[in-house]
Amino acid sequence: MNLKKTWLIVGLGNPGSKYSGTRHNIGASAVASIANALSEKSSKHKRVLADVCETRIAEHRVVLAVPHSYMNESGGAVAALLNYYNLSLETLIVLHDELDIPALSLRVKFGGGDNGHNGLKSIRSSINSGDFYRVRMGIGRPQANQDPADYVLQNFSSVEKVELSKTFNRAHQLIESLIVNGLAQTQNEFHRGED
Question: pLDDT over 70 for what percent of the chain?
Answer: 96
**pLDDT on residue 164:** 95
Residue 195: band (very low, low, confident or very high) from pLDDT cuts 50, 70, 90 = very low
Domain ranges across the chain: 6-190
Superfamily of domain 6-190: Peptidyl-tRNA hydrolase (3.40.50.1470)
Give CA–CA dist 65/96, Å, rounded. 13
- Average pLDDT of the segment spanning 19-30: 95
Phi-psi region of 93 (alpha: psi -120 to 50; beta: other; left: phi over 0): beta
Is residue 24 part of the annotated active site? The answer reads: yes
CB burial readout 7-38, b (16+ within 10 A) else e: bbbbbbbbbeeebeebbbbbbbbbbbbbbeee
- Which residues neighbour 160 within 8 Å (Cβ) at sequence distance 6 or greater? 103, 104
- Of 7-11, 39-43, 114-118, 162-166, the least confident: 39-43
- Give Dmax over CA atoms of the chain in angstroms: 56
**pLDDT on residue 194:** 55
Q: What is the pTM of this model?
A: 0.94
Residue 53: band (very low, low, confident or very high) from pLDDT cuts 50, 70, 90 = very high
**pLDDT on residue 39:** 76
- Average pLDDT of the segment spanning 136-146: 91
Give kind and range of the element (H or E) at residue 92.
Answer: strand 92-98
**pLDDT on residue 193:** 59
Q: Are strands 60-67 and 6-11 parallel, antiparallel or unpaired?
A: parallel
Query: Which of 32, 64, 31, 35 has the alpha carbon at shortest distance from 48?
Result: 64
Q: Mean pLDDT across the chain, nearest whole number?
A: 92
pLDDT in tens, 78-112: 999 999 999 999 999 999 999 999 999 999 999 99
Query: Which of 121, 8, 163 has the alpha carbon at shortest distance from 137?
Result: 163
pLDDT in tens, 61-80: 999 999 999 999 999 999 99
- End-to-end Cα spacing for the chain: 40
